[in-house]
Amino acid sequence: MNVPKVVDELKKKYPGKNIVFNKNTDGEVIEIVCEVIQDPDFSWAIAVIDRSPKHYHNKLTETYKVFKGELIVNLDGKEFHVPEGGFITIKPGTVHYNIGNETWVDVISHPGWTIEDYIPAD
């Protein structure tokens, strides 16, 4: 992933918003998340994904809409291909991870995303 280019583009499109980096065990950035709206009832983020960590949520439902590239979403061991313009909804308790190639995704969460509701999965 071209991290400087992605960060520059996110900062231009969403000035002043928090940007989070997820890294693999080698320290390589595998996902960049820009938190656009963070509210207890609703959140919206832009995720730029090469690979997201395997995890689940107890409370929130996420909807991903791919707006640049293609995404493979693994839900409880089943793979789904989400093309540009496509979307997928992830229900609470569903173990999931994503594979892309600098893929840009709108991530809508109800209720709003919190670190306490992010549970890593093996």
Cβ neighbors of 121 (< 8 A, separation 6 or more) are 54, 55, 56, 95
Contact call for residues 100 and 49 (beta carbons, < 8 A): yes
Q: pLDDT digits over 27-49, tens only?
A: 999 999 999 999 999 999 999 99
pLDDT digits (tens, 9 = 90+) for 44-59: 999 999 999 899 999 9
Whole-structure pTM value: 0.92
Q: What is the pLDDT of residue 75?
A: 97
Burial category of 98 from C-beta neighbours within 10 Å (exposed 0-12, middle 13-18, buried 19 and up) = buried
**Per-residue confidence (pLDDT) for residue 79, from 0 to 100:** 97
Four-way CATH pick for 3-120: 3.50.50.60, 3.30.420.40, 3.20.20.60, 2.60.120.10: 2.60.120.10
On the question of pLDDT at 122 being above 90, the answer is: no
The stretch 8-13 carries a mean pLDDT of 97
pLDDT higher than 90, residue 14 = yes
Identify the H or E element spanning 84. Answer: none
Segment 11-24 mean pLDDT: 95
